[in-house]
Structure formats: structure tokens, C-alpha cells
Amino acid sequence: MLQKDDRVIKVMRSGKINQLSSHDVLVGDVVYLKPGDMILADGVYISGHGIICNETSASGELEQIRKVSAEEAVARFTANSAVSRMFGPDPFMISGATVLRGTGTYVVTAVGVHTFCGKSTTELHEDTTTTLYEIEIDTLMKSANQLGGGYIILLTFFY
């Protein structure tokens, strides 16, 4: 994260409520949410009221996502049909999302490069596989360089 992205957030750690830099969030911290907050780390929503998130930056989905607590999600999952289970309630907080409405808390399950956004960014930067086309172009360029070098040597001796 860039320094300008540093924010002071309210976190419960070891049973104590603290004001921490967003860069100091750890797995297991309970983060407090309010409207306008950006989700800084992946986690599971545990309590609150009416949390609605915009996950466009993380998932590309334009719709607003209503979050339910993990306890409520499990209760709905076990009580509903198979179709409801497939498209059921969402207790997951994804880094990069923004809280539009509501207040609540979530427990952090992943930070940094281990988050959903962190993995996506890492995969984009690590894609170094060479294609067959790139290998053929590289071979062609080496051959052209050798041929050009040989031609220059011949011209130097004969002129």
C-alpha cells in the first residue's frame, strides 16, 4: 500500500479496542466498519446492521452487495433449498470494496498479498510465461543480428 493510503482505523485486538494505522492490521483483528470505509483486508462479517458494500473494484460487479453475519449465513444455508445455497447470503468482506451503508465488524482472515486483490495483483505481475510467438521472434532477431554482424565484418575487410 502507498503511504497516502494509510488511514487510522478502529480495531479490536487481544480484547482491547485500538486506533491503528491501516498498514498494521493483522489476521485475527476485528475491524469496525462505517459508511465510506474501504475494506483493507479480507475477512468474515461477524456483527452489525445493514452493511451494504460496493465490490466493483474487486469483482467488477456493479451491483451493491448486502452482507449478512457469518452466523446468519450459516443459519440461512442450512434452512434453505439447494438453489438458495448457490446464490445465498454473503458474509465475506473483500479487500478493495467500499462500505456504502451500515455499521458492523468483521474478523480479518487475510492481509497484503494474501488477500483477493493482493493475489490478483501478484498474478498480473508474475505472468512471465514466454509464448511460442515470442520465442520465434527472439530466434529471428538473433539470426538477423548475427547476419548483420557478419555483413559488417565482410564490408570492413573489403572496403
Nearest C-alpha neighbor of 67 from the set 102, 96, 41: 102
Sign of the four-CA dihedral 3, 126, 109, 47: positive
> What's residue 123's pLDDT?
53
Q: How confident is the model at residue 2 (pLDDT cuts 50, 70, 90)?
A: very low
Global pTM reads 0.66
> What's residue 127's pLDDT?
55
Q: How confident is the model at residue 54 (pLDDT cuts 50, 70, 90)?
A: very high
Identity of the residue numbered 68? V
Task: Report the CATH number of the 3-128 domain.
Answer: 2.70.150.10
As a whole number of angstroms, the distance between CA 67 and CA 125 comes to 31
Q: Cα separations (Å) of 151 from 90, 100, 142?
A: 68, 68, 14
Q: What is the mean pLDDT of the chain?
A: 80
- Give the residue, 135 or 27, on which the prediction is more confident: 27
Question: Per-residue pLDDT tens for 114-131?
Answer: 676 655 555 555 556 677
**Extents of the domains making up the chain:** 3-128, 130-159
